[in-house]
Amino acid sequence: MGAYLEYYSSMFILFPAIIFAMYAQAKVKSTFYKYLRVRNNRDITGAQAARRILEQNDLYDVPIERARGALSDHYDPRKRVLRLSDEVYNGTSIASVSVAAHEVGHALQHAHSYGPLKIRNAIAPTVGFASQAAMPLVILGLFLGSGGSLLMDIGIYLYSFAVFFQVITLPVEFNASSRAIVQLEANGLINNEEKPRAKKVLNAAAMTYVAAMAVAIFNLLRLIMLRDRD
């Protein structure tokens, strides 16, 4: 029971990061839906904007599909498919073209062999296992006391791998947003008045990745503190 209470009482370390994560999620939703109501000057859909950028970069073979759910937009590097939610695919708002261009940014990264994306894609299959296995090992090691230090070390090592994934995700996402703004401007899809609004949408989305990294790092520190407790 003591180990159980110790594990959960240490959660207070995560509170600042969790609050930040909650704020980031609320911010991205409020910003996205705010600019989802503002039509872009070209009156084009997110799907049309994505197709134009793809073709201007000779990526004719990357299909665009619909994704289920809100804010479910993503680029699948395994199948080389761009998937956009209905609000982005059919939407003619600044938010729609901004999010679509961001996902095309990932397709451009893939086509240009962008280093951080290659690393993230390489480790992605094992990150899920590492993060799921880490906590049971840490908890079991904590219950075993001094005899469970090896299990805790293994758990922390596995969780560190998951933290690294969050860290390497940041340059991938920020770079995709930078590419999005460049492509939107270069292809005349936004004007000077719309550029700051598009940046607000992309910056709000990027904040969620910063928050996810913060939660992961604070949780890693918590596990290390539990491992080094007296």
Return the active site residues: 103
Q: Measured between alpha carbons, how far is 69 from 66 in angstroms, rounded to an integer?
A: 10
Give the sign of the dihedral formed by CA 173, CA 176, CA 182, CA 183. Answer: negative
Query: Which has the closest alpha carbon to 27: 180, 205, 228?
Result: 205
| Cα atoms in the Cβ-side hemisphere of radius 13 Å centred on 171 | 12
Sequence-ordered list of residues with C-beta below 8 angstroms from that of 13, at least 6 positions apart, any chain: 218, 219, 221, 222, 225
Give the sign of the dihedral formed by CA 185, CA 189, CA 192, CA 196. Answer: negative
